[in-house]
Structure 1
């Protein structure tokens, strides 16, 4: 086999294609698989002067009698050549970075640059832009061999390299959120990205060899953490591939030094301090997510001695989860599987299922962390109790029975704190801020109404 490197213009490749001298061998090549979006972005890259990867062609010399011709079979680069040829034929227009923002998703610095080809087909380009397109040079490797099997072997070798997965592709995206995730999740082969030791010490992850798995979890955890900070504790976003991509794009100007991002670092450090050195299995990703969200809720609202009990409470939860799985395997219903375990298997990256898991996780961990009371002298219910009551009451106000939003709810002491009422779940009722009883008469009337309602509910359950 002989390989000769050359450079040809786009116009020359198009002419070869038009004259049926450039094609593919359908015996081992796949067909056209690129989407129109991929094709449009390739041509945009060319117009911006971005170099394209080398294209491999098999140079075949044919002869019949006194006649001879040269043909070229594409070994690697079919999708790129298809995009170039189809654009030259007027098959599609190019993206306008601003008008087509929702689909194109170009980074901000690209949108700020001139784009005179945006929204235009080839025929609509100015003569200068047409010339720029046609004279663009592409690197080629011309393979000369009479052994077809050598060509096939080369094709297999070129395709056998591992393509970039979703997170490896995100690692190359511009923007501040990319930088934040690299720093948080870690890329140890780059000195400035050591990563937070939470992922290696508490979860046993290996960011240097896991092809972005650690960084993806770091991105997912950050998404959930910041969404709840901005939208309320009942807000759980999707964290699947499409949702992560959208978050990266929407946060190109991400503030890496915001109070919320610093809080996330502090929460992970606190969990690491509590759990490292214990005799428990490494946490799984979903367990780590729920632990981080719970620790964030506990930190400010409760005396710090909860941290001493957290490892034991977590052990109890993980034990319950193991028993739940064993029961499910044996065909027996178990609350840990019904409310948590199964939702780590089915659409586990959907916000609604993360919410289901977290609701159960908070209730159980709250039980295992007892005694747990909010800090005095605030005398308010903490976020954990508020969360439990929010879901236990079906997100409805105990006063007017209307639907209640997290950001518009409070927890009322049924028996007033001043009258000896405890800050406990049994003495708490979720209400709208506007419905919160004020004054002795209103509080007494509410207590009577609430007691009657609980009595009816209890009778219904017993039936």
Structure 2
């Protein structure tokens, strides 16, 4: 049995008249990383003010002394926010018996300001476990309150949480979407990151999106999220934002998740991605139009939609109802990928990226040991193989008629020349940077 964690506990109080100053001086801190914001109903706030005016206790707050010397509210945020609204004059009292705080008589205000608000102040001396202590204390205090999955995940600390929180706060994708009540869009950012880190796109195997999968990822990626994976994830978000644009304002999280899976797969496996944003844009419009052209309970296809297509989209809708299971994710991914292939036929990248040693030997002797670029003799050990039609454009590695052997320096010069040509085409508007996988 591990040694019991015993924090310092101090029981104290402040008076109601101090609350605005405590917030202004940032002595009391509402941590937006996991706190839910102002979610109490108006009636709950009025009942709290009624308790205060009647001299009843409103319970004990729980505060935690953090590394910055501020008191994080672990329990009592809604009570403090309601009181602050009352003090600021922003709480609607029109249909109540209460007088606005600003209109109280001097004696009444003195009496109200003197109302005592009691709190427990916790402090952990263990620097290694302090953050975990805050998280666990918060979660246990909220066990009587129905926290949703997003709120529970947001209460944790670490690199994984930092990555999806930053994406949720900074990405233009989530800014254009609506409905971030109780961290829903932050959860969507976490779901997309989890799928990117733990999903096997090639074999269509994905993790569950239930709470335990996120807790596991938080532990696995507590110190570090692989930078290359994180860059790819952020680039996927950017491409989705560019592609979907105004469609994002009405997009459901479940729809956005399926489109994320599609974009991530295509950036890894589709050849010729220079025009991918436009392709995704056109596809998404058609896909979402079909998806929203009938109810899940309709048994007949809408006018103009073939029965086979109707059944496919209907099955997708049913799968989306259980959106967190690996089976649902696989089913929806297969459907949306199949629809993209049907509506936007494309060439898949060769799974084999590099030429092997035997292929390079064959090329060496086919070219009589001469560099295909400069025509001079090569040292086989210092030569490199090149795709004439690039791998990213669909060039096949096992097709040696599409390959050439070069001096290392000649290969570098050739790649530099290709990059320069690509920049010219981008500047001329013929290509776009978006959609190119790293």
Shared fold, TM over 0.5: no
Q: TM-score range by the shorter chain?
A: 0.3 to 0.5
TM-score normalised by the chain length of structure 2: 0.45
For CA contacts below 8 A with separation 6 or more, give which structure has more relative contact order.
2
TM-score normalised by the chain length of structure 1: 0.43
